[in-house]
Chains A and B, each alone.
Chain A
Amino acid sequence: DLKATVLSAASPGEQKEMLGERLFPLVQAIQPTMSNKITGMLLELENSELLHMLESPESLRSMVEEAVEVLQAHQAMDTSYK
């Protein structure tokens, strides 16, 4: 599994990629329709938070729900400007 020591050996971009590869299937299980964008959003968080989410399904779920709300608000804002 993914440990902070493994991550620290990788470049910042690779770290996000490694975390994303692990988060994506979990996000997909919670919210299949927007999982690509949700994972993208989550990857903007600190790596330590992402590691915590990988270990705690409850925090992952609440972050995904939060991300969905932010995404929907963002999309609503986008379309109202058009």
Chain B
Amino acid sequence: NGSSSVNWPPEFRPGEPWKGYPNIDP
């Protein structure tokens, strides 16, 4: 893979849904 290294790590923003954890519960 390695196509999304620039987007890592996902940023956590308080008060917003956490999107960094991939597709466990869509």
For the complex, would chain A's binding face be called helix, strand, loop or mixed by DSSP majority? helix
Measured as residues with beta carbon below 8 angstroms from the partner, the interface class of chain B is 10 to 19
The digit string for B1-26, where 1 denotes a CB below 8 A from any CB of A, is 00001101111111001101100110
Q: Which A8-49 residues sit within 8 Å CB-CB of chain B?
A: 11-13, 16-17, 20-21, 23-25, 36-37, 39-41, 43-44
In-complex Cβ contact of B18 among A25, A43, A74 (8 A)? A43
Measured as residues with beta carbon below 8 angstroms from the partner, the interface class of chain A is 20 to 34
By a beta-carbon cutoff of 8 Å, the part of chain B in contact with chain A is 5-6, 8-14, 17-18, 20-21, 24-25
By a beta-carbon cutoff of 8 Å, the part of chain A in contact with chain B is 11-13, 16-17, 20-21, 23-25, 36-37, 39-41, 43-44, 71, 74, 78
